[in-house]
Chain A
Amino acid sequence: NAGVTQTPKFQVLKTGQSMTLQCAQDMNHEYMSWYRQDPGMGLRLIHYSVGAGITDQGEVPNGYNVSRSTTEDFPLRLLSAAPSQTSVYFCASSTGTGGTGELFFGEGSRLTVL
């Protein structure tokens, strides 16, 4: 019963480097999303997808790219990492249209940008 799986769990980058955070879900959920969690700010939506081939921006999309080529996978790409992107990133999925919006979360990826 894997649910939502995120890799890596920890990553240290230097400013300007690029990387991809991986997210996969095995629940056949339409909706997938990426949040970042920062102290005192709760969870803020970065990007989301309502199905394969469809993505849209959330509240804080700058500096991040996403794609959704399959129902299962939703990678988050940092093109040129900045210290402001130091955060904990969560991938989440839900059933989408017709559901309640209840999200199922991965365990998070802690990113530090030096």
Chain B
Amino acid sequence: AQSVTQLGSHVSVSEGALVLLRCNYSSSVPPYLFWYVQYPNQGLQLLLKYTSAATLVKGINGFEAEFKKSETSFHLTKPSAHMSDAAEYFCAVSGYTGFQKLVFGTGTRLLVSP
């Protein structure tokens, strides 16, 4: 079985500051890991995904995440926040044995102030 814990329901940063959104996972099989972003009144769109290739994954809009097996973590970072990054971010996990179902965390809302 898979599960995801996102630490912090809200994270506030200033424009230009580092963004760090935390995600820890639990999986009984080697995982696939995802970060999705949801802008207000929209659906979810994929930011990036880890599929057992490189442990440092680069996504859209300057975001990246590092898979750390020893820490069971997949934290999302961006060196410099932009106002347009304000959104809700979801971490998700699936396991690559047979058919996969995605399990989501509860989400972290990123607030960016000028």
Contact = CB atoms under 8 A, between A and B. Distances in A.
Interface in B63-114: 90, 92, 94, 96, 98-102, 104-107
A43 B96 CA distance: 21
Contact of A99 (B36, B42, B43, B100): B100
A42 B43 contact: no
A58 B101 CA distance: 10
Interface string A75-114: 0000000000000001010101101111101111000000
Contacts of B44: 43, 90, 92, 103, 105
Contacts of B26: none
A42 B32 contact: no
Chain A interface residue count: which class? 20 to 34
Chain B CB within 10 A, most for which of A41, A42, A44, A96: A42
Interface of A: 4, 31, 33, 35, 40-45, 48, 50, 58, 90, 92, 94, 96-97, 99-103, 105-108
